[in-house]
């Protein structure tokens, strides 16, 4: 799924699928060439960061020890949880201001990211319990 998000950000950033930024109405109305270029830079930067995570996780899954994999899950939980610290309050405000299409997108994203967190937490708990039993 993240690979598809990277492809969308790099090649179809104006999409409303995955992490496409077309959900933000301002994407289609940059105030200046400088703002358009800045937005393009940030979109590609996010895609690059996602690509780094994908490759690192692939390496961990293929050659990592059980201990490394366990700590990778903890790192994923913590890094995904940061969404609720900074990004969610902002996207929630933008959604309430009518700056996001479709309306209510922030709630969908909230549930999706909460679902990822729950899955990683359950995997961590399951791994710990299996190691104890």
17 and 78 in a common domain? no
Q: Give the end of a domain, one of 40, 63, 86.
A: 63
43 and 12 in a common domain? yes
| DSSP H or E stretch at residue 127 | helix 105-132
* pLDDT (0 to 100) of residue 111: 94
* pLDDT (0 to 100) of residue 77: 95
* pLDDT (0 to 100) of residue 29: 85
Q: Give the end of a domain, one of 43, 63, 83.
A: 63
* pLDDT (0 to 100) of residue 31: 86
CA distance 47 to 27: 16
Taking only the tens place, the pLDDT of each residue in 67-77 is: 999 999 999 99
Residue 20 confidence (pLDDT) above 90:
no
120 and 75 in a common domain? yes
133 and 72 in a common domain? yes
Residue 1 burial (C-beta neighbours within 10 Å; 0-12, 13-18, 19+): exposed
Average pLDDT of the residues in 98-120:
93
127 and 73 in a common domain? yes
* pLDDT (0 to 100) of residue 132: 65
* pLDDT (0 to 100) of residue 22: 86
Taking only the tens place, the pLDDT of each residue in 26-67 is: 888 888 899 989 889 999 999 999 999 999 999 999 999 989
Q: What is the mean pLDDT of the chain?
A: 90
Q: Would you state the structure tokens that stand for residue 50, as one six-digit string? A: 């996602």
59 and 43 in a common domain? yes
Residue 133 confidence (pLDDT) above 60:
no
Determine the structural domain holding residue 45 and report its residue range.
1-63
């Amino acid at each position: 799924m993240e690979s598809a998000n990277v492809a969308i950000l790099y090649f179809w950033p104006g999409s409303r699928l995955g992490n496409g930024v077309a959900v933000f109405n301002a994407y289609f109305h940059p105030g200046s060439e400088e703002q358009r270029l800045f937005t393009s830079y940030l979109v590609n930067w996010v895609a690059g960061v996602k690509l780094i995570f994908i490759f690192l996780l692939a390496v961990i899954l293929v050659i990592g020890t059980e201990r490394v994999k366990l700590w990778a899950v903890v790192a994923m939980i913590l890094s995904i949880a940061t969404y609720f610290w900074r990004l969610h309050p902002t996207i929630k405000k933008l959604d309430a201001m009518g700056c996001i299409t479709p309306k209510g997108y922030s709630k969908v994203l909230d549930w999706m990211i909460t679902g990822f967190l729950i899955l990683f937490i359950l995997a961590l708990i399951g791994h710990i319990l299996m190691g104890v039993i």
